[in-house]
Structure 1
């Protein structure tokens, strides 16, 4: 993902793959980190804000964003994982961006990428990137991302 000053995130050629190489995550423990940020970036670039809405996330997956893969494996297949991680994660990040403003949110994302490039990020790294934006932290906590 490439993010310049005053710009929305946009994928490099090849789509989501390069961001995965830039900021890693422990897929077994924290799958939401990669999937939420990648789906969020895709939605921003493609102008799909209305595809991802928190009020449309099914109740059965709400608040479970930060669950490990073992939890999602027990929940009945890819459908719930997609709803609970990809869709809920993107919706949360898009809502956070709406609440704090594009410039402030994108600056925090750029900082997150700069600090965590070529590393394995965890929820503490996400918290650190947004700690100056309490509205974002509140959303992340409410949806179980930082627990």
Structure 2
């Protein structure tokens, strides 16, 4: 079976995004290892508040700690980018969608592929956006 050029480009782009997400995970693993090594060598002995309980404002301990440290994991930053992009795109799709709007939607769908590869659990993955159901689908990103 011969693949069409557009399918080949899309397939290559998706493979690139998956490889990029794998690399991000490898970097995160390396960083985790570096922090564990730093801690094992006593690098965290003089941290303010060491040994005291953390005050977590929300019910989710991981998100509470990250929020207190003002840190967003890469998948959460990407989620916000996608949400903001969809808000802008919905305004463009209210009229007749232009070629630029369709390209922007394609770029958002590539970000969704990357997001799905980065989220910590498969249940957090989301479907790509279809132009016909943009309004309904974009609500899941709010």
Q: TM-score, normalised by structure 1?
A: 0.32
* Structure number with higher relative contact order (C-alpha < 8 Å, ≥ 6 residues apart): 1
Q: TM-score, normalised by structure 2?
A: 0.32
Q: Greater CA radius of gyration, 1 or 2?
A: 2
